[in-house]
Amino acid sequence: MHFLDQAKIFVRSGAGGAGAVAFRREKFIEYGGPNGGNGGKGGDIIFEAVAGLNTLIDFRYTQHFRAPRGAGGSGQNMTGGGGDDIIIRVPVGTQVLSEDKEQVLADFTAPGERVVFLRGGDGGRGNASYKTSTNRTPRQHGTGWPGDEMWVWLRLKLLADAGLVGMPNAGKSTFINAVTNAQAKVAAYAFTTTRPQLGVVRHKHNEFVVADIPGLIEGAADGAGIGDRFLGHIERCQVLLHLVDANDKDVAESYRIVRDELEAYGGGLIDKPVVVALNKIDTLDDELIAALSAELEEASGAEVIPISGAAGTGVDWVLDKLLEVIGPGPGRVGEDDEGEDAIEWSPL
């Protein structure tokens, strides 16, 4: 399935149906009079978040959504039928933005969320509703209220608990493959990751979601490399895991480049808790690992965890640190329930 995280669509709710002009004329009925019914309401445009979707690719092929108008009223005070609603199903994490992308009109963060985005127009009044003591044969009627229409942008921000950041070839794809069921592409060249990847980590009776995004290089905020457009997918993360390649010429500079790009992007990414890991230590000796860790620790001001995603060294240590920030939640258990003493559910 192709990944698409932005799409522009046109939405229009249905107009209300026209009211009827009709009069009661029945044999053996002494008194007649107006009996035109009201028009039906137009269809609504409704957005609904559904589980199981992680792309907006469907909106590349269908960009126009128009709800039908309400039916007109008829005699015998019969109200016209309402137009059918149009339900637009989007992945959880989707935002609906104004055409200029300056305003968030709706934000879906949980499955089943539903928003009536554009309400259909009300139906027009039939001539029966205009009858008064001085106007007993009204011939006026309402034509129905128009619907609303607009162009909007859909922007998907994947929901994850932890996000992986780093320069190209920092080993992010190898790491997510090692700790989750993801099957991210791994190769010996830059930008092997061209779209975000999600994976579920199962660690010490806990589950949490990790997001891997394409690597950042200097000038990504200005469009260098793949740019920073995918950083939106980690805006909702509780913690960032910053991987630094131990084989870089200057690990401190590699760390600063990525941090500068996060700050340039904004979105509160620079203020998120971060776990710093020196990756690919399986290619180095202990003395060099200690020297590079100290250099990176001085640059970041945080504890540095030496790991090897390929060999599995230090991976559990990193996951423990991520869980300390993420904490217990839905689908996760607390520290008191971990290990061999965890109480298993029993129907008895």
Q: Encode pLDDT of 160-175 as tens digits.
A: 899 999 998 888 888 9
CA 233, distance to chain mean position in Å, is 8
pLDDT of residue 152: 97
Higher pLDDT, 192 or 54: 54
Radius of gyration, alpha carbons of the chain: 30
- Average pLDDT of the chain to the nearest whole number: 87
Q: So what's the architecture of 162-326 in CATH?
A: 3-Layer(aba) Sandwich (3.40)
CB contact set of 219 (below 8 Å; sequence gap of 6+): 225
Annotated binding site for GTP: 166-173, 212-215, 279-282, 308-310
Annotated binding site for Mg(2+): 173, 193
Q: In Å, how far are 183, 238, 292, 309 from 173, measured between CA atoms?
A: 8, 20, 22, 9
Q: What is the mean pLDDT of residues 34-47?
A: 96
pLDDT class of 186 with cuts at 50, 70, 90 = low
C-alpha–C-alpha distance, residues 94 and 64, integer Å: 18
Higher pLDDT, 170 or 19: 19
DSSP β-ladder status, 197-203 and 33-34: unpaired
Residue 329 pLDDT exceeds 70: no
From 3.40.50.720, 2.70.210.12, 1.10.274.10, 2.130.10.10, which CATH number describes the 6-156 domain?
Answer: 2.70.210.12
Residue 55 pLDDT exceeds 90: no
Q: What is the mean pLDDT of residues 279-303?
A: 91
Domain boundaries, the chain: 6-156, 162-326
Annotated binding site: 166-173, 193, 212-215, 279-282, 308-310
- The whole model's pTM is what? 0.77
C-alpha–C-alpha distance, residues 83 and 41, integer Å: 6
CB contact set of 141 (below 8 Å; sequence gap of 6+): 18, 19, 20, 21, 36, 73, 124, 125, 126, 127, 130
pLDDT in tens, 240-249: 999 999 988 8
Residue 266 pLDDT exceeds 90: no
